[in-house]
A and B are shown apart, each in its own frame.
Chain A
Amino acid sequence: MSIAPAEFGSLESADGARNEDYLWTLNFGPQHPATHTTLRLVLKLEGERVVDAMPEMGYLHSGFEKIGEHLTFNQYVTVTDRMNYISPVANNVAWHHAVETLLGIELTPRCTYVRTIVAELARISDHLLCNGAVGLDTGAFTFFLYAFYQREVIYDILETLCGARFTNSYTRVGGVSQDFTPLVVEKIRAFLKTFPKTLDDMERLLTRNRIFVDRTKGVGVLTKEEAINRGATGPVARASGVTRDLRKDEPYLAYGDLDFNVACASAGDCYARYLVRMQEMRESLKIVRQALENLPDGPVNVGIDQRTALPTKKQVYSTIEGTISHFELSMANRGFDVPFEESYAAIEAPNGELGFYIVGDGDDTAYRARCRPPSVLHFALFPHLIRGHTLSDVVAVLGSLNIIAAELDR
């Protein structure tokens, strides 16, 4: 595995005519101490300053999109878990949102609230890890441990709910796999009571910490026009002043009924992204609290006459509709009523706009299941952000972009 800088095309070199022999090439290889798994950066350094950076990805490309052509809609949700593995439930919600858009299925009110609550818990989990990783990479180990402990609490809630700590595969077409039990609601309430205090503690550690602020303020500045032109979405774009949040702009699930704010900043540097994520966690807590208080009663899966969600055992054994539904869904050549059409649906995932473009072909399996990953566009931003900064800023910027290798490579 050799590095020949000539092979790596560089979109813009700082000064094309300059003789670049004296620049030093550093391979920030796919195995590296920053906690962002398999990314590769080839950096051209002039002393400590980064003149250019050539990112390379693909070290975790597992053929997710091709698998999507062989698995049914309910089987593929297990694979979507393994994309953004920091907040897997958000991926599940995104996938089934896209599938239900294609199939034209309307969810029950309880289901929208349940999915909203777990999606927001996933958002908190993601931002905790992202900020924790920024802390860890810039040297703040305690912050990382605090963040990880809170994630364990969320894991506990999700494990009580559906049996798996993460990689939950929680949603199904037309509903979810398990409904909320009183124990789950109690655990979420306990989390809502203790988390704000921990969040305050964590903020006290880093937000006004001189070292952290010096390391992240003014580093990796992304202007608003560049953010839009280069396709950034989510906290990365919102920290640059782009006020786009799909929860407010194209309300899906229960977000239309809930009252919350969208966190934005205008500086566009790493510090702004850190602050946006911290504030988003507080807003997520608001959303979960409201959604939990107003959780509607009723069934969580769509009715059995729609032939989409698997009926419960009682329904299968005691009603003819249930039996027919079960038969139709489980038999190989039956299943959902999928039109020969294509559609795209996106949600506001913790990382940005996560959408799936699904082409249906009448069959239970998608003809093409394309995942629109926010991380690809954010990683492509990286050379633009790092030019002119020092080597130690590389980890700060990389951390603040929240690039998840599995979502990047799929």
Chain B
Amino acid sequence: MPVATPPVDTVLESLAATVGPCDVSTFRGQTRVVVPLERALEAFRHLAAVGFDLLVDVTCVDYLDYRGAKHRYGLVYLLASTVTNQRLTVRLFADDPDPAVPSVTPIWRAADWLEREVWDLFGVRFDGHPDLRRLVMPEAFTAHPLRKDYPLQGRGERHNFPVLARDDG
């Protein structure tokens, strides 16, 4: 049965008790908490147990050109509770080379495809994901398009196809 989520302060306190002090901030009524990478899986398990049963989104931001950024990849997990309507944003940070974070698919099945998409577009690996392969780009594609160092128009992959003339048909 879903557990009624206690108010966000209590959640944050219990989270700090479980994984240690985390960086908490608020903006426009949304609470964001930064969890250290090593304790990430425990933190998510704790949050799921405390009542955040809906994983709304898993996404990534590439902070390559961002003012004042300390890490390159910021993973964003948007959690919500269907019982009390609270929302929480959890952030993890990863760096080049070979950014990797633990997968939350065992906790919320919704993360399955969302993490595949982050892998596809950003190149952040998810350890423990049952089936990590490309989702939106073709399998043969090699780059990770949403990274800041990949140009908008691509590197010519979109022109690299055979041309059919009328007498081929």
Contacts and interface: CB of A to CB of B under 8 A. Distances in A.
Contact of B113 (A70, A233, A376): A376
Contacts of A380: 109-110, 112-113
B10 interface: no
A44 to B, nearest CB: 16
A392 to B, nearest CB: 26
B82 A228 contact: yes
Interface residues of A, number: 49
Interface residues of B, number: 43
B57 A355 contact: yes
A370 interface: yes
Contact of B137 (A58, A226, A342): A58
Given A67-B152, A367-B66, A372 B135 contact: no
Interface string A233-262: 100000000111000011000000000000
Given A231-B108, A357-B57, A368-B61, A61 B113 contact: no
A334 interface: no
Given A372-B78, A376-B117, A229 B28 contact: no
A70 B152 contact: yes
A11 B136 contact: no
A404 to B, nearest CB: 15
Given A344-B30, A355-B57, A58 B146 contact: no
A79 interface: no
Nearest to B30: A343
Q: Which of A65, A70, A243 has the most CB of B within 10 A?
A: A65
B133 interface: yes
Interface of B: 2, 27-28, 30, 32, 53-57, 59, 61-62, 65-68, 76, 78, 82, 85, 87, 89, 108-110, 112-114, 117, 121, 130-131, 133-139, 145-146, 152
